[in-house]
Amino acid sequence: MLIRKATDLTYADVTPKPVYLNRRKFLQAMSIASATAVLSRRLYEFAAPSQTALAATKFSGLIKSPFSTTEKENSFENVTHYNNFYEFGTDKSDPAKNAQNFNISNWVVSVEGDVAKPRKLSMDEILKIAPLEERIYRHRCVEAWSIVVPWIGFSFSNLVKLVEPTPKAQFVAFQSYYDPRQMPQGRWAGIAFPYVEGLRLDEAMSPLTFLCVGMYEESLPNQDGAPVRMVIPWKYGFKSIKSLVKIKFQSKMPPTTWNIANPQEYGFYSNVNPNVPNPRYSQARERRLGEFFMRNTLMFNGYGDQVASLYNGMDLKKYY
């Protein structure tokens, strides 16, 4: 396999081959499992496929980020076969099965709104905005599971500086791609599409806020948000919007999909906060995917030193 530096690649060079889920093996594993969620999740690790297709070309020459955690990474099989991507189905195993024919060729991300230099960026242009680095981030989901993933990309602030927000810009709105012909499972997801998210501009400018184009030294698999997504490690996972097609700078707080669907449970900020329980369950404990025992949930998911100052003076039980 030819290995080239990331700076020499076009996006066509790093598109991954399909990753297939061995459904029969999964069902066999589940048939001997206990009905409890704990054992089901534990068995899921053993249900991963025996073969995993690799990207045609890997990224190389990546910068190792000082923002990375030293915690043990989850396996590629874990992270690519236990996903929330409701456009491709609501079961955790659905996206890996249903996203394989997702067409991401000729991808364009529109950057617009209150900016001096609006742009429509191809993937090749996105890859040239800033040097690519690998960041190993931990993540926390509202369903009380967590993962550690080595992402590839760069701080979102590099894109912000490129388009030059005007003084009116106080927020950044994000929108995912949605095509019911390619994503028919979305009709039964129970939420409105296209998926939308948002950040305050100062949150978007945090060096931790990551524009992501790959993971595990490869381009993103379809089920993990190909070809480009956001990664915001101190917030619950649903804030890290997948398959981006629009970024809009604006003066007003943008709507967000889960806040629209259920505002009692999902606020705009969605910071990881063990002191604010979901109305249906506690957020104080979490289970790392593939592990049996639970651990304490950390405030801001353990990134408080970097981001706590963004919320000085705010009641984080009110602005949840």
With a pLDDT cut of 70, the percent of the chain lying above it is 82
Distance in angstroms (rounded) separating the CA atoms of residues 43 and 20: 18
CATH number of this structure's domain 6-137+150-260, picked from the four choices 3.90.420.10, 3.40.50.300, 1.10.600.10, 3.90.1300.10: 3.90.420.10
Domain residue ranges in the chain: 6-137+150-260
Distance in angstroms (rounded) separating the CA atoms of residues 59 and 55: 9
Q: 3-class DSSP state for residue 109?
A: strand
pLDDT in tens, 246-273: 999 999 999 999 999 999 999 999 999 9
How much is the pLDDT for 57? Answer: 62
Mean pLDDT of the chain: 87
Token code pair at residue 107: 């991808």
How much is the pLDDT for 36? Answer: 36
| CB 247 within 8 Å of CB 111 | yes
User: Taking 60 as the threshold, does the pLDDT of residue 2 lie above it?
Assistant: no
Neighbours of 316 (CB within 10 A): 16
How much is the pLDDT for 306? Answer: 98
Strand partners, 55: 16
| CB 233 within 8 Å of CB 303 | yes
Token code pair at residue 140: 């926390």
Q: 3-class DSSP state for residue 211?
A: strand
**pTM for the structure as a whole:** 0.84
**How open is the CA angle 144-148-149, to the nearest 5 degrees?**
130
